[in-house]
Amino acid sequence: MKKILNILLTLLVVVTTMGCSNSQDYSFMDGDIIFHTSSTSQSQFIQEATNSKLSHVGIIYIKDGNPYVFEAVEPVKITPLDEWINRGENNTYKVYRTITPLSDTDLNNMYEYCVTQKGKHYDMKFQWNDDKIYCSELVWYAYNSIGVELSIPKPFSDFDIEKEEIKKEIISRYGNTFEHSELVVSPQCIAESKYLYKIFSNY
């Protein structure tokens, strides 16, 4: 009977944990990369162009015992983790971590890079420059600042941009200035990085 009770208790703990979406139930670390499906108006275009539900990404940092996310929105800022999660579709998200642990120096350097980007405007044209910055570009450059190239930036032409709705959005944003060769990195590109592994998902 005691053995049966122990099994039932274990199952109850597992089911309860799986059904909970509160970020405090999981042990995240500085530098973890978090993804979700954004509820913004452009999220659907990103999903369709990249063939992925992942349309927004940021970097987790723990400050004074509380988890935050550095993210490129308008403007670049640091957001409490629970607030970041609640903005996503159905409160679902994924978290990835580097296969090789990062040193404290690396984590501090990444944090300092993100701090230098605070207040910078969001790049609605997803251009590969320093004037403005978009979410996956922020994460990519933060890791690149410590010598880790999470993924190889790809030209727009490598994405699924020939769908009619996406072509209309491109004309709306770029007019006649759109460059198919412009390099870009998407949340899905980062999720596929050979340097990362998934530590949590409630999708």
The letter for the amino acid at 5 is L
Interval 135-189: pLDDT, tens: 999 999 999 999 999 999 999 999 999 999 999 999 999 999 999 999 999 999 9
pLDDT-derived band of residue 26, with 50, 70 and 90 as boundaries?
A: low
Nearest residue to 154 (alpha-carbon basis) of 192, 193, 123, 189: 189
Per the DSSP assignment, residues forming a β-bridge with 155 are 183
Kindly report which listed range (16-25, 96-105, 111-120, 158-167) carries the lowest average pLDDT score: 16-25
- The residue-averaged pLDDT of 31-41 equals 96
Nearest residue to 46 (alpha-carbon basis) of 165, 171, 131: 165
The letter for the amino acid at 184 is V
Whole-angstrom distance, CA of residue 137 vs CA of residue 42: 16
- The residue-averaged pLDDT of 109-124 equals 97
The domains of the chain, with CATH numbers, are 28-201 (3.90.1720.10)
Nearest residue to 36 (alpha-carbon basis) of 195, 191, 154: 191
- CB distance 29 to 104 below 8 Å: no
Which residue is it, tokens 């983790």?
81
